[in-house]
Structure 1
Amino acid sequence: MVKILAVLAALSTAVVPVAADNCTRGLYYCGWLLLQIGGYFPQIDDAFHNAGLATSRDHVNRGLFYCLGGDNGDIRFVTLCDAVCRDADGGNIFC
């Protein structure tokens, strides 16, 4: 478990070479997309923990989140997609 978290933490910092940004309030996001936006690993980890789920690469890839907004771009876990959470151009997020 510790190795998985270490890998995910390293991956989340390696994916985005630019400064972190916030999600847009009222929109849905895939977990992998939040990692690309940057700085969302701690919030994703907390959201999974609060939902009683383990944080894993699979859960991040299948996780669907709702952006609550605010100064920190707060998010709320919605569901795990059966397959992969997808972004179909233009912000159309779906399972």
Structure 2
Amino acid sequence: MIFPRIWSLAVELALRPFPRATSCEPGLNYCGFNLLQLGPYAADINATLAAQDLPLSRWNMHETLFRCEEGRKGKGAVLFAESCEIECRDGGAGYSDWCLNYTRGIAEELQLGFLDRGVLDV
């Protein structure tokens, strides 16, 4: 019977996880929380925070901005970019994440986020 074979194949394909990226894209900035979802970056984040003399707290791991650079064996290397004052914002797929800070106006931060995507023209 061909129907049970097709049915079992359909179930197997439906349950198989979609492939996803496991490395950051060089040249983009990433919030810590996005790096942690992307792949095994916890040790890299901790080492980067320690090198900046920042406490190894959940806040710093998640709400710090990191720059992705070329790394070894297909895994992007992360460098410290900025410690976010209010929060780290997800820039969306293919765009840099960014910090929402007190030092610049919130309107300017929002404009910067949209400028990355080409939504606003200056």
Q: 2 CA distance for matches of 1:92 and 1:19?
A: 18
Equivalent-residue separation in structure 1 for 2:24 and 2:83 (angstroms): 19
Tell me the equivalent position of 1:66: 67
The question of 1:76 aligning with 2:63 is answered no
Gaps of 5+ in 1: 1-17
Q: What number of residue pairs does the alignment pair up? A: 78
Q: Distance in 2 between matches of 1:33 and 1:25?
A: 14
Q: Find the counterpart in structure 1 of residue 57 from structure 2.
A: 56
Contact 1:19 1:38 in 2 (8 A): no
TM-score by length of 1: 0.73
What SS does structure 2 have at the residue aligned with 1:45? helix
Cα RMSD between the aligned structures? 1.8
Q: CA deviation at 1:89?
A: 2.4
Query: Which residue number corresponds to residue 90 of structure 2?
Result: 87
In 1, Cα distance between equivalents of 2:20 and 2:69: 20
- Rate the CA distance shift 1:19–1:56 in 2: closer, same or farther, 3 A: farther
Residue identity (%)? 35
Q: Which runs of 5+ in 2 are unaligned?
A: 1-18, 100-122
Higher relative contact order (CA 8 A, sep 6+): 1
Partners of 2:76 and 2:91 in 1: how far apart? 22
| Structure 1 CA distance for aligned equivalents of residues 96 and 78 of structure 2 | 17
Contact 1:25 1:69 in 2 (8 A): yes
TM-score with structure 2 length normalisation?
0.58
Inter-CA distance 78–21: structure 2 relative to 1 (3 Å threshold): same
Q: CA deviation at 1:55?
A: 1.2
Deviation at 1:31, TM superposition (A): 0.4
